[in-house]
A and B are shown apart, each in its own frame.
Chain A
Amino acid sequence: MFCREHPAEFRPHQEELKGLGARLVFVSTGTPAMARDFREQQRVTASIWVDRRRATYRHLGFKRSPGSTLFSPAILKHAWRALRKGFRQGATQGDPWQQGGVLVVRRGGEAVFCFASAQAGDLASMEDVLAATRAAS
């Protein structure tokens, strides 16, 4: 359900990002076919890229473990937050143990912000992401 919550959190801010000249890209494990289904079902209008080998995730040092997916008490808090917003868990399509994050990069390649999820549902602060993007513009 967190994978559905994340794009939904960005949706109200896409116009601002566009106004800043920023490109929003969602990256996920899985396949292009899964990405197409996800795009349609979640009404994602930003680009979706697929990293089947998880090379970007490894490069960024994002966690991948059953512990960070299933056994952290913080996950219950995150799940309650997502459930109250109306998000429900669908069938997992991709790597079930992989955690995500957010990276903001200035034009030309300078990284200005990176957030790595500590556990499933640990999402970056949208305020922090927007502030970093404004600074990068």
Chain B
Amino acid sequence: MPGGGTLETGRMAIDTRTLGALELLDVDGNPVRVSSAWEAGPAVLVFLRHFG
């Protein structure tokens, strides 16, 4: 689904349009939009519990 979509799993539905609009920080503290991860190709986002 170009421009975003929803993945239905057994437990959740994922709205990547809303997810992609969220803004995080890179290691230098610069804002980065989540959707930039999949602008040029597929993205693998690995969510860690914390740094430790």
Given contacts A107-B42, A137-B42, contact A49 B25 (CB under 8 A): yes
**Cα-based distance from A41 to B10 in the complex (angstroms):** 36
**Cα-based distance from A77 to B22 in the complex (angstroms):** 35
**Cα-based distance from A30 to B40 in the complex (angstroms):** 27
Pairwise interchain contact A28-B1, C-beta atoms closer than 8 A: no
Pairwise interchain contact A114-B14, C-beta atoms closer than 8 A: yes
Pairwise interchain contact A27-B47, C-beta atoms closer than 8 A: yes
| Selected contact of A37 from candidates B6, B40, B51, CB within 8 Å | B51
Pairwise interchain contact A51-B42, C-beta atoms closer than 8 A: no
- What are the interface flags for A14-33 relative to B under an 8 Å C-beta threshold, 1 for contact and 0 otherwise? 00010011111111111010
Pairwise interchain contact B24-A51, C-beta atoms closer than 8 A: yes
Q: Is A86 an interface residue (CB 8 A)?
A: no
Interface residues in A, total, Cβ within 8 A: 71
CB under 8 Å from chain A, chain B span 1-26:
1-7, 9, 11-12, 14-20, 22, 24-26
Pairwise interchain contact A98-B16, C-beta atoms closer than 8 A: no
| Selected contact of B49 from candidates A49, A100, A106, CB within 8 Å | A100
Question: Which chain A residues border B46 with CB–CB below 8 Å?
Answer: 6-7, 10, 24-27, 100, 102
Nearest-neighbor residue (CB-CB) of B22 within chain A: A55
Pairwise interchain contact A27-B24, C-beta atoms closer than 8 A: yes
Nearest CB of chain B from residue A3's CB, rounded to whole Å: 5
Question: Which chain B residues border A61 with CB–CB below 8 Å?
Answer: 11-12
Question: Which chain B residues border A120 with CB–CB below 8 Å?
Answer: 49
